[in-house]
């Protein structure tokens, strides 16, 4: 099983279209009695892109972005040191998982302990937020409140562990690591990521299931993810919900917006256009709607079009990543663990 590839939705959750917030997140999972799955694995994510992966089967850290191979220019023993770090974290979470299983009286069978740890840094205001959230078998368990340097227990069974962690000073120590050490590494990684500076405009296409369905404007292949796609009529933006920004297999992004034109006469369709705006690019990419160029189930698609559509949507929804998305969503919806 390939448990680290494209992280669906993560770019959207971490960065908004106009945000100047940078993030470094690590999603960790410790498991017991899960067939064909390592006992421990983690994936590190910088600004919505996976940058490195480790699991207990290989005991190696591998780069997930080409530019990550350059880190040894500044730290010769980087990969060896992080492999040891991965092993140490795995052992720690293995012990923690056992404590939780005993506390919940669930010592038999398949179990998972999931962790989201990391930080966000606003490069304009210099505001920093640190996160450390855990879940047991998909259920919220304990989270760090970095503002108060305390832990929050999601259920009564977690309360004794919360108290123990606070008594040993773990809350204070973890807060420092998430708000200082993490940010230091975030900035360190960013010096290598040339992709942060690049700007790539998308390929824009119009899609429609059938002649009576809404028309979808699909933009794929753009970078970075700080972008906005919307419909316009006679040059005026229409009030429609923006689409989610999703990652592609190659590190670029895609998004789409749909518009119901069923009540609009065919001769008026030319008044509509799809507008793409990319942060750092002054000129908008405007694609006027042309009914003859709409791809649909009623019109035969070329092999190259089908291939591009499939590849642009490639994403492995793995356990490590899925957990991270759920935890991150919960936090930003103010449902603190």
CATH assignment at residue 45: 3.30.500.10
Q: What is the pLDDT of residue 307?
A: 37
229 lies in the same domain as 132: no
CB-based contact 55:181 (threshold 8 Å): no
186 plus 210 within the same structural domain: no
pTM recorded for the entire structure: 0.62
The string over 262-275, giving b where at least 16 C-beta atoms fall within 10 Å of a residue's C-beta and e elsewhere, is eeeeeeeeeebbbb
Between 263 and 2, the higher pLDDT residue: 263
169 with 224, same domain? no
CATH number of domain containing 243: 2.60.40.10
Residues 243, 103, single domain; the answer is no
- Considering the domain architecture, whether residues 109 and 144 belong to the same structural domain is answered as yes
Which residue do the tokens 């996160």 mark? 131
- pLDDT at residue number 313: 35
Tell me how far apart the alpha carbons of residues 227 and 18 are, in angstroms, rounded to a whole number: 8
Residues 252 and 125 in one domain: no
Into how many domains does the chain fold? 2
Q: Is residue 111 part of a domain?
A: yes
Burial of 213 (0-12, 13-18, 19+ CB in 10 A): middle
| Co-location of 154 and 219 in the same domain | no
Region of 7 on the Ramachandran plot (φ > 0 left; ψ -120 to 50 alpha; else beta): beta
In a domain, 311, yes or no: no
One domain, residues 158 and 277: no
Within a domain: residue 1? no
Alpha-helix runs per DSSP H in 118-215: 159-167, 170-176, 182-190
Domain for residue 70, yes or no?
Answer: yes
In angstroms, the CA 279 to CA 271 distance is 26
pLDDT in tens, 181-234: 999 999 999 988 766 667 889 999 999 988 889 999 999 999 888 899 999 999
Host domain of residue 92: 10-195+316-332
Q: Which residues pair with 269 in a beta bridge?
A: none
How far, in whole angstroms, is CA 66 from its chain's centroid?
Answer: 18
Q: Are strands 272-278 and 227-233 parallel, antiparallel or unpaired?
A: antiparallel
- 72 with 212, same domain: the answer is no
Q: Is the pLDDT of residue 271 over 80?
A: yes
Alpha-carbon distance 15 to 12, whole Å?
6
Are 57 and 95 found together in one domain? yes
Is the domain of 167 the same as that of 226? no
Residue-averaged pLDDT of the chain: 81
Residue 298 confidence class, pLDDT cut points 50, 70, 90: low
Q: How far apart are the first and last CA of the chain?
A: 29
pLDDT score recorded for residue 320: 47
Question: Is the domain of 37 the same as that of 111?
Answer: yes
Within a domain: 62:
yes
Sign of CA dihedral 151, 44, 48, 18: positive
pLDDT-based confidence at residue 12 (cuts at 50, 70, 90): very low
Residue 309 lies in a domain: no
What percentage of the chain exceeds 70 in pLDDT? Answer: 81
Q: Has residue 127 been placed in a domain?
A: yes
Indicate whether 4 belongs to any domain: no
């Amino acid at each position: 099983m390939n448990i680290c590839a494209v992280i669906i939705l993560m770019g959207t959750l971490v960065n908004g279209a106009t945000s100047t917030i940078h993030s470094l997140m690590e999603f960790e999972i410790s498991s017991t009695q899960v067939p064909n799955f390592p006992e421990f694995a983690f994936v590190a994510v910088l600004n919505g892109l996976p940058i490195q992966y480790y699991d207990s089967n290989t005991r190696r850290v591998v780069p997930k972005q080409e530019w990550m191979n350059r880190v040894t220019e500044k730290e010769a023993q980087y990969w060896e040191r992080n492999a040891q770090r991965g092993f140490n974290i795995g052992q720690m979470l293995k012990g923690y998982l056992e404590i939780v299983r005993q506390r919940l009286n669930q010592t038999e069978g398949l179990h998972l302990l999931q962790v989201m740890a990391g930080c966000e840094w606003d490069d304009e205001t210099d505001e920093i937020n640190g996160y450390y959230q855990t879940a047991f078998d998909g259920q919220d368990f304990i989270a760090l409140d970095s503002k108060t340097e305390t832990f929050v227990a999601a259920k009564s069974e977690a309360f004794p562990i919360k108290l123990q962690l606070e008594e040993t000073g773990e809350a204070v120590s973890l807060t420092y690591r998430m708000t200082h050490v993490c940010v230091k590494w975030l900035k360190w990684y960013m010096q290598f990521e040339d992709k942060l500076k690049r700007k790539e405009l998308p390929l824009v296409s119009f899609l429609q299931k059938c002649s009576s369905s809404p028309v979808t404007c699909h933009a794929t292949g753009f970078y970075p993810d700080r972008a906005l796609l919307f419909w316009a009529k006679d040059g005026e933006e229409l009030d429609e919900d923006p689409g989610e920004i999703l990652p592609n297999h190659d590190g670029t992004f895609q998004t789409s917006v749909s518009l119901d034109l069923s009540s609009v006469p065919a001769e008026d369709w030319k008044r509509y256009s799809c507008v793409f705006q990319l942060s750092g690019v002054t000129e908008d990419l405007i694609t006027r709607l042309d009914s003859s160029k709409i791809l649909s189930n009623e019109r035969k698609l070329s092999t190259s079009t089908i291939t591009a559509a499939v590849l642009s949507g490639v994403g492995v929804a793995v356990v490590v990543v899925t957990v991270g998305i759920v935890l991150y969503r919960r936090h930003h919806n103010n449902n603190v663990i």
